[in-house]
Amino acid sequence: MPRTLQDVVFVDGVRTPFGKAGDKGIYAQTRADDLVIKCIRELLRRNPTLPKDKVEEVAIAATTQIGDQGLTLGRLAALLSGLPNTVPGYSVDRMCAGAMTAVTNVASAIAFGAYDIAIAGGVEHMGRHPMGEGVDPNPRIIADKLVDPSALVMGSTAENLHDRFPALTKERCDAFAIGSQDKLAAAYAAGKIQPDLVPVATRHVDKGWGLATTDEPPRPGTTMADLANLKTPFRPHGNVTAGNAAGLNDGATACIIASQAAADEYGLQVKMRLVSWAFVGVEPEVMGIGPVPATEKALAKAGLTIDDIGLFDLNEAFAVQVLAMLDHFGIADDDPRVNKYGGAIATGHPLASSGVRLMNQLARQFEEHPEVRYGLNAMCIGIGMGGCVIWENPHHADYGKEA
């Protein structure tokens, strides 16, 4: 039987406030799965016209799939969120791009017609489950010299990127990091971040009960002098510091992805339409360059060029990897189209959850900029990969027409 591909749309997305990993963080004694369950419940509350039994899949990502982030998390989260037991679910792992992959996975199934509505997201509790906990990498990946040993340490790969592109200086990275802090502070002051946040009740044996309502990692008011003398933990006299890289964080995200037809049927708001996406592999030693070929591939699949993109929300795992992408495409470090609300250096980067944060923020920016037709999300991915997703703005006058 011939099939007609369905248009896929981003309906709504939410996230928890992001916390600092560790015993002093806001989520130190909060379960990882409870964070993503909170997001799913909030999505259902915010979209009351969506019947729960019409959700046909729940895909939830986690990088370290162990403990309260393990055991087919998507299925357990679906059950614990109040969805009917007829709703299936599964887990995803593509390290930092886990939630991004969860979205593209369910989007592909929707486009194919396997189902019409799904929930996708991610969670990472890096305080409870440090990246790589309990894993046993095959020693042949090093012994057979398939990769340099630095490929298994993300901060070291960022230092390698500095080596490859000497123009990406520490000073440029520090300046970019300050811009991230300043833009996030301005976005909070203007009320741009708060609509996406789900308050989370917390409990700590020493601190008692609390309520997480804002991100914990930001350091507003950071200056170049503050960053100048920070330690370079990945290399003596290196370039990567805690100031120009994302920290270790806890948090969760979730979103509703649907066919255009299902969104129309159930009266769901459409915030973005999926145009194309791509994941690619690169040299693991310089995984930060991954967004460049991923973006080139996604643009080519869509029949677009970089000049067609009016908004960029890029993950800031390290300042150097964002700058590598901007330099490649001839985009200025302080281009106003890039990360208008700041990025992971300020907000935090709970690994597998971050992809949906990027999408949420792009959707908000689309509302503010109806003159922009296309935007993209991109991120580098551990062990040498990159991902990119291109979206169309439903507020644009030519939305849905042939490009």
SS3 string, the chain, reads CCCCCCCEEEEEEEECCCEECCCCCCCCCCCHHHHHHHHHHHHHHHCCCCCHHHCCCEEEECCCCCHHHCCCHHHHHHHHCCCCCCCCEEEECECECHHHHHHHHHHHHHHHCCCCEEEEEEEEECCCCCCCCCCCCCCHHHHCCCCCHHHHCHHHHHHHHHHHCCCCCHHHHHHHHHHHHHHHHHHHHCCCCHHHECCEEEEECCCEEEEECCCCCCCCCCCHHHHHCCCCCCCCCCCCCCCCECCCEEEEEEEEEEEHHHHHHCCCCCCEEEEEEEEEECCHHHHHHCHHHHHHHHHHHHCCCHHHEEEEEECCCEHHHHHHHHHHCCCCCCCCCECCCCCHHHHCCCHHHHHHHHHHHHHHHHHHCCCCCEEEEEEEECCCEEEEEEEECCCCCCCCCCC
Catalytic residues: 96, 349, 380
